[in-house]
A and B are shown apart, each in its own frame.
Chain A
Amino acid sequence: MSALISITGVAKRYATDRGEVVAVQDVDLEVRQGSFVALLGPSGCGKSTLLRMVAGLDAPSEGRILLDGQDVVAPTAMVGFMFQHSLLFPWRSVIENVLLPVDIARGKRAEHLDRAHALLASVGLEEFAHHRPNELSGGMQQRAALCRALIVDPPVLLLDEPFGALDSITREELNDLLLQICHESGKTTLLVTHDVEEAVYLADEVVVMSSRPGRISDVVGVELGYPRDTETRNLPEFRALATRLRKGLGIAHRQGRAAR
């Protein structure tokens, strides 16, 4: 299996009023086709920055990012992006929100309507297709946003803490949903999170980042196999991995403080 996403020697610096901020530095990362990689790290370590560069929303200051062998210079049709906030448009119904990517790609709504309904059904929102987003709970809104990211069936999913604002019950529910969708459709997924359990539960590889400057401090394979369910969380391997990652993060924290 070849790398679908390939990041080499990437750095990102921002010019600010108080001089230059190094958001990420020396990042090398390969994401294999069909794999699920979690980016785990403390707040401000550059996870979003990295993800946005892969999505083509920001340009790296240094290094290269390849997506399926092509330099990323702008957002591509290969990527579905999901943010922490659902960003559903309040003037569109739920199903119209799901169809937004189709409208923007100048596709025919009619041709995607069945898929949109099927996606909404798969996340348990079929009854809410014609509701307005503000009639939905936070978790339901994120489900709709997930459908929107999937409607044009992009091979790559980039998820920036999509469940970060949700309660833990809803989050676990959506974790199962995401896992199922990613595996059924063979997506390549890069997920940003600062929840250790979420990272271990979802990913087959966890990339740990440390802050100031943000860089990769550890890459941990998760050999738990799929499918996973609630029982998985109780496995000794799961607990051991989570503990190891927690320690890794703790050390990353301290290094971060010392470097300042």
Chain B
Amino acid sequence: MSIDTRRLARRATQVGKPLALFTVLVAIWQVVVDKGLVPTVALASPSEVLDYIVTQRAQLWTNSQATIKEIVLAFAIAFVVGVVLAILIKEFQILHDALLPLLVVTQLVPSVAIAPLLVLILGFGDAPKIATAAVIAFFPILINTVAGLDNVEKEAIDLTRSLRASRIQTLRYLELPSAIPYMFAGTRIGITLSVIGAVVGEFVTADKGLGYLILQGSSTLDPTLVFASLVVLAGIGLLLFGAVRVVEYFVVPWNRAPAQRGGRS
């Protein structure tokens, strides 16, 4: 109990310092705009942005829903494809040797550049946006899961061999569980990339969504709209990232910070 409160206190100071800096920066931003140090067409003051968010919450919320839907669907697809592919790559050497290098090479193409291509292929609905986000997000999930599946101690494999475990059993009882922390490392990157991917998709083709609002604000010289959308987008990103951390906390209890002391031996 007392340990938990101490950890909470430490967490609070961890959050407190960046929060303090953030407040200072916002205050500077407010002053800069108020004193007219920058042409207002480029910058909206924090109070204006906040005011806009409150008064236009209905519009922002409708567009947020569209974007959140794209992010979540894209992430789900990326996660399933990434993990399943990782398992196949682990289990079939031929895929490891043939497919994995190809996938790595495809990462040299800036993923955002494929969004227009996906529009050509998938048309103008939600599909190209979801596909763009999924394509961008799946790779870190895949690579981290592959690394996790490969990073099993040789002796632990010998243990399951001595118990005459089948390949599937070794995967189920040893390799997959030990890959879970890696999977989450990939997932934390993947969820962030899903947000980026969804916005990029909306930049290319959209009639709704926060990315669409940002473009609108930019083309109609409305910085308040741009900033308000950005703030909401940042909030969504933070919430999703936090959700992943919470799930991780409960799914990977053996890998929580204080337990790392003992390790495995």
Q: A103-B173, A134-B262, A134-B263 are in contact. Are A75 and B163 (CB under 8 A)?
A: yes
Tell me whether A165 and B265 are in contact (CB under 8 A). yes
Given contacts A85-B265, A134-B254, A138-B265, contact A75 B259 (CB under 8 A): no
Q: Does A21 contact B (CB under 8 A)?
A: no
Q: Does A120 contact B (CB under 8 A)?
A: no
How many A-B pairs have beta carbons closer than 8 Å: the answer is 71
Flag the segment in A88-96, A199-207, A233-241, A252-260 that touches B: A88-96
Residues of A within 8 A of B155 (CB): 83, 85, 87
Among B154-194, those with CB < 8 Å from A are 155-156, 158-165, 169, 173-174, 177-178, 180
Q: When the two chains form their complex, are residues A132 and B265 in contact, meaning their CB atoms are under 8 A apart?
A: no
CB neighbours (8 Å) of B158 from chain A are 52, 57, 81, 83
Is the Cβ of A81 less than 8 Å from the Cβ of B159?
yes
B211-265: which have CB < 8 Å to A? 252-255, 259, 261-265
Quote the shortest CB–CB distance from B14 to chain A (angstroms): 24
Is there an interface contact between B173 and A88, defined as CB atoms closer than 8 Å?
A: no
B-side contacts of A75, CB under 8 Å? 161-164
Could you say which residues of chain A place their CB within 8 Å of the CB of B261?
Answer: 134
Give the nearest-CB partner of B260 in chain A: A134
* B262 and A135 form a contact (CB under 8 A): yes
Residues of chain B lying within 8 A (CB to CB) of residue A105: 163-164
Closest Cβ of chain B: how far from A120's Cβ, in Å?
Answer: 19
> Across the interface, do A87 and B164 meet the contact criterion of CB distance under 8 Å?
no
Q: List 16 A-B contacts (CB under 8 A).
A: A75-B162, A81-B158, A81-B162, A85-B265, A86-B265, A89-B173, A89-B177, A90-B255, A101-B163, A103-B173, A104-B163, A104-B173, A132-B253, A134-B254, A141-B265, A165-B265
